[in-house]
Amino acid sequence: MAQNSTEQKFTSLFAWFDRTGDGYLTRDDFRQIGEVFAAVAPDEDNKSALREAFMLWWDVLDEAGAPDSRGRIERGRFITAMRSHVAADTKTVERLVMPIIDALMHALDTDGSGTLTADEYVRMYDALDIDPATSAAAFRRLDRDGSGTITHDEFRTAIEEFYLGTDTEAPGNWLLGPPLPPG
């Protein structure tokens, strides 16, 4: 069951990264998603951090041998590389994904409270063309203490659950919206 959960999460992530919708990931897809995230950042330091973090992600996949001879990664190879080179090691998740979360927290926290409100969280997903109803539902699950905000720790915990967790009921599975149905 955990393998199915991981495959479902990484399938969602693949679809999210596939900016062209052609069924492959390329370096340009990672450049584009970096630009999408950079667009929500208020300052150049965070914009640069987000761009660099997504390009580092591509580099890790490249080092894992995921791209084919044409520089493309199909879904199955992406899932395999994610399992073997990203989700297999908490240090890799810390190095690869957490800089994105740290920069996002800073970029999206427009009121300077150190937390994300529902509006701030939904704004990020709106930039990615994700339905506000979907991101609002995810927000409610990630707000573990029901405070009406997501703390930095809650966001980081969600990331760890998404990339490293096997609990199919974990709130972090909602990071990109509702988990895909089994199958």
Q: What contacts 24+ positions apart, CB below 8 Å, involve 70-77?
A: 71/26, 71/27, 72/24, 72/25, 72/26, 73/24, 73/25, 73/26, 74/23, 74/24, 75/11, 75/14, 75/23
Answer yes or no: is 150 within a domain.
Answer: yes
Domain, as residue range, for 68 = 2-171
pLDDT of residue 117: 92
User: pLDDT value at position 183?
Assistant: 47
In a domain, 74, yes or no: yes
Domain count of the chain? 1
Residues found in the chain: 183
User: Is 86 inside a domain boundary?
Assistant: yes
Instruction: Please identify which residue in the block is written with the tokens 């965070």.
Output: 46
- Largest CA-CA distance found in the chain, in angstroms, rounded: 49
Residue 41 lies in a domain: yes
Residue 179 forms part of a structural domain: no
Query: For residue 96, which of 55, 62, 65 has the smallest C-alpha distance?
Result: 55
Positive or negative: CA dihedral 35, 150, 78, 56: positive
Q: How far apart are CA 106 and CA 102, in angstroms?
A: 6
Torsion of CA 10, 153, 44, 19, to 10 degrees: 10
Per-residue pLDDT in tens (0 to 9) along the chain, 183 residues:
455 778 888 998 899 899 899 999 999 999 999 998 888 888 898 889 889 999 999 999 999 999 999 999 999 999 999 998 888 778 888 888 888 888 888 878 888 898 999 988 888 778 777 788 888 888 999 999 999 999 988 988 988 888 888 888 889 888 877 775 554
Return the pLDDT at 3.
53
Q: CATH number of the domain that 160 lies in?
A: 1.10.238.10
pLDDT at 1: 40
Q: Is 113 in a helix, a strand, or coil?
A: coil
